[in-house]
Amino acid sequence: AQSVTQLGSHVSVSEGALVLLRCNYSSSVPPYLFWYVQYPNQGLQLLLKYTTGATLVKGINGFEAEFKKSETSFHLTKPSAHMSDAAEYFCAVSASAGNMLTFGGGTRLMVKP
């Protein structure tokens, strides 16, 4: 079974500041890991994913995440926040390709001018 914990349901940063959203997972098998973003009244859009290979994964909109097996973490970062980054972010884990996603509780990112 898989589970995901996102530390901090709300994160507030200033425009131009570093964004760090935390995700820890639990999985009985090597995990597939994902970050999705949800804007108000919209569906989820994939930011990035880790399946195998390089542990530092780059995604869209300048986001990246690093898979750290020893820490069971997959934290999302962006060097400089933009106002348009304000949204809800979900970390998710899957046991295999094409399998269901188990989501964390989400982190709402607020960006202050």
Partner 1 sequence: DARVTQTPRDKVTEMGQEVTMRCQPILGHNTVFWYRQTMKQGLELLAYFRNRAPLDDSGMPKDRFSAEMPDATLATLKIQPSEPRDSAVYFCASGYLSLAGAYNEQFFGPGTRLTVL
CB closer to partner 1, 73 vs 102: 102
Note whether 108 binds partner 1 by CB under 8 A: no
Q: What length is written for the chain?
A: 113
CB closer to partner 1, 15 vs 49: 49
Cβ at position 17, least distance to partner 1 in Å? 27
Ranges of beta strands (E only) in the chain are: 3-5, 10-14, 19-21, 24-26, 32-38, 44-50, 56-58, 64-68, 73-78, 87-94, 102-103, 107-112
Distance in angstroms (rounded) separating the CA atoms of residues 99 and 14: 37
**Token pair listed for 12:** 């507030």
Radius of gyration of the CA atoms of the chain, in A: 13
Note whether 103 binds partner 1 by CB under 8 A: yes
User: If you search the block for the tokens 């884990």, which residue do you land on?
Assistant: 93
Note whether 45 binds partner 1 by CB under 8 A: yes
- Contact pattern for partner 1 over residues 14 through 43, marking x by CB under 8 A: --------------------x-x----xxx
Cβ at position 72, least distance to partner 1 in Å? 20
Binds partner 1 (CB under 8 A): choice among 50, 81, 104, 109: 104
Binding site for partner 1 (CB under 8 A): 34, 36, 41-46, 49, 90, 97-98, 100-106
